[in-house]
Structure 1
Amino acid sequence: MSERFVEVYSQGVTNVRKVFVDTETGVNYLIASSNMTGGCGMCALLDADGKPVVTRLGEDDVVMMGQLLNRE
């Protein structure tokens, strides 16, 4: 896995919401935009206790072109 950030979720065409995982720290980030060419917002996702949501990606996770394809 050579990509630093991996897209793990995507929703919408005009009002876009994407979740990326930092492959080094496992921290999840939300990217939101109503128009991906006019700017966007980004923030770390937090759990109920206010701590960052962490997704550990292992060597066996399949990543192609920066996107997580499947986890078993």
Structure 2
Amino acid sequence: MINKKEKRFVIKGEESFEGGKLVVIVDKETGVNYISYVGLGASALTPLLDEKGNVIAEK
């Protein structure tokens, strides 16, 4: 039997935006939230920041 490893990243939310898709992803090991955009021939991934510029992390 193959052991299934628990997934490190989980999708917290997603929505359509400007012809593409925005997705908020959480790293379960560090708690850091990332925002990803894919669409219109481009893609990006960056840590999600609060209004003070601090990385948003789950506690």
Question: What range describes the TM-score normalised by the shorter chain of this pair?
Answer: 0.7 to 0.9
Runs of 4+ in 1 over 3 A off after TM superposition: none
Distance 1:39 1:5 in 2: 21
Distance 1:18 1:28 in 2: 10
Distance 1:49 1:16 in 2: 25
Q: Residue 16 of structure 2 aligns with which residue?
A: 12
TM-score, normalised to structure 1, is 0.63
Q: CA deviation at 1:39?
A: 4.7
| Structure 2 unmatched runs, 5+ | 1-5
| Structure 1 unmatched runs, 5+ | 57-72
Looking at secondary structure, tell me which structure has more strand per residue: 2
**Equivalences, count:** 54
What is the Cα-based RMSD across aligned positions, in Å? 2.0
- Of structures 1 and 2, the larger Rg is shown by 2
TM-score, normalised to structure 2, is 0.75
Alignment of 1:1-72 (within 5 A): 2-12=6-16, 14-35=19-40, 38-56=41-59
